[in-house]
Structure 1
Amino acid sequence: MSTAPPARHLALLGAGFAAGDDGPLDRWLLGRARVPRPRVCFVPTASGDAEGYVERFRAAFGARRDCEAAVLPLFRRELDDAALREFVLAQDVVYVGGGNTANLLAVWRVHGLDRLLRAAYDRGTLMCGVSAGANCWAQGSHTDSFGPLTFLPDGLGLLPGSVCPHYDTEAGRRDSYRSAVATGALPPGWAVDDGAAALFTDGRLTEAVTGTPGARVYRVEPDGAGGTTERPVPCGALRGA
């Protein structure tokens, strides 16, 4: 008797512990894991495994959250291939930090982490992240990995389309991302304000929330006339926001 594969879940976060947001979005995220007390692995590759970033994660998800917190460093990797696979596939949540999206993808591929994350995703692990940690899951993204804001037609492709983080807070983000979508440099996608979050199930948007008043999630698509349409998604306000 065959069984249906588990649903695959992915979340784009517009804030969290790294921004000092000690509350709504991270609590909401843990509530979407497949078990009540999930194993949560922080992957700080995009920041070069920055020590301060890791410390903030441990402070936020250690004793102060109902979870088992762990960190996966790659710049000083300790696990061999077999142990790395076992570790990644045992996680309930993989939380990817911000930094340089292009560098993150390159390092993951060298270590084979991209393949392991796909396997974990297919088994029901919740994939999520903020900034570069949101960009990496899509087919392409809007990034400052190369200095100036530009498009990056590269990613793991777990989420169809493209992603743009920091949509409302960084100068030039909105216009630059809309231009990339209008010209076809990036496929249609999702723009996330700082303070908002979106959950996708099997590639489809199933929930959008805000932990900051006024923060939104948008669907951005070409309008067929050389421009774009920008459709705000209804967002539920989180308790404590």
Structure 2
Amino acid sequence: MSVIAARRLALLGGGFSTDDDGLLDDWVLGHTRAARPKVCFIPTASGDAPAYIGRFLTAFRPRSCEPGVLPLFRRELDDDALREFLLAQDVLYVGGGNTANLLAVWRAHGVDRLLREAYDHGTLLCGISAGANCWAEGSHTDSFGPLTFLPDGLGLLPGSVCPHYDSEPGRRSSYRAAVATGAPPAGWAVGDGVGVLFTDGALTEAVTRTPRARLFRVEPDGDGRAEEHALPCRLLGEALCPCSRPG
């Protein structure tokens, strides 16, 4: 009897591009099934920025993994080689930048279909900012300048996502106002420092690298407003972070 792989994805509120401690990236690697996992960085949202790629390689080369990069603005692989490369990875790690541009470029190259295939085969998908937004049905984004809801995404994660919920001015109020209208579906508001793992679309783990970082579930309350519910997160390296306490 064939075993159906669990489909897993992680939303990151940090990682190599923002943090020096490496806790969230180590947490991601800890969820792989390989002794030396292949980790592919996909920097499309930043236009394949060389400095961003350099930071990834600097952070992951010393780790017990095989880091790689998929550039699309100067693509080198044909369709068959591209599929073979992506499906051979244990982790597909998507960087931040412009969510709308990311989705458009992926579709032009057929990467969206390959990511779905990899997800169905058990590859761990993850990313920060635009790299978190892309997996949901829609997201809260500044891809067009002002903060707005983008009703577009791969739809692997039901609902919507808002990154940088506690760190960028206007994110919290704008996302709550949008969810209150019912335009974006209820979703996940990810604070900087948080990591969230979903298995087959259901929340299975939430962690944080700092006691102040939080994960929220934001839902319409039926009276034209939105409610946010802080969810408990495990403090990496310790027991349980009091993410649900008021303050």
**One of 48, 69, 72 as aligned partner of 1:71:** 69
Per the alignment, residue 28 of structure 1 pairs with 27
State the AA in 2 paired with 1:211.
R
Give deviations 1:61-82, integer Å, cap 9, x for gaps: 11x2111000000000000000
Per the alignment, residue 184 of structure 2 pairs with 186
Whole-angstrom CA distance in 2 between matches of 1:24 and 1:35: 19
Whole-angstrom CA distance in 2 between matches of 1:227 and 1:34: 42
Per the alignment, residue 231 of structure 2 pairs with 233
Give deviations 1:25-79, integer Å, cap 9, x for gaps: 11111001122321000000000000000000000011x2111000000000000
**In 2, are the aligned partners of 1:139 and 1:159 still within 8 Å (CA)?**
yes
Give deviations 1:186-232, integer Å, cap 9, x for gaps: 10000000001100000000000000221011111111111111111
**One of 210, 215, 219 as aligned partner of 1:217:** 215
Per the alignment, residue 95 of structure 1 pairs with 93
State the AA in 1 paired with 2:60.
F
Whole-angstrom CA distance in 2 between matches of 1:42 and 1:184: 34
Per the alignment, residue 51 of structure 2 pairs with 52
Per the alignment, residue 82 of structure 2 pairs with 84
Alignment TM-score, normalising by the size of structure 1: 0.97
Whole-angstrom CA distance in 1 between matches of 2:58 and 2:158: 33
Give deviations 1:124-157, integer Å, cap 9, x for gaps: 0000000000000000000000001111000000
Per the alignment, residue 244 of structure 2 pairs with none
Identity of aligned residues (%): 72
Whole-angstrom CA distance in 2 between matches of 1:30 and 1:237: 17
Whole-angstrom CA distance in 2 between matches of 1:74 and 1:61: 20
Whole-angstrom CA distance in 1 between matches of 2:111 and 2:210: 33
Aligned-pair CA distance for 1:4? 3.3
Instruction: Count how many residue pairs are aligned between Structure 1 and Structure 2.
Output: 239
Give deviations 1:147-186, integer Å, cap 9, x for gaps: 0111100000000000000000000000111111110121
- Stretches of structure 1 that go unaligned for 5 or more consecutive residues are none
- Stretches of structure 2 that go unaligned for 5 or more consecutive residues are 242-247
Q: Helix, strand or coil for the counterpart of 1:18?
A: coil
Moved over 6 A (4+): none
Whole-angstrom CA distance in 2 between matches of 1:103 and 1:126: 23
Q: Helix, strand or coil for the counterpart of 1:17?
A: coil
**In 2, are the aligned partners of 1:22 and 1:60 still within 8 Å (CA)?**
no
Alignment TM-score, normalising by the size of structure 2: 0.95
RMSD of the alignment, in Å? 1.2
Whole-angstrom CA distance in 2 between matches of 1:235 and 1:85: 35
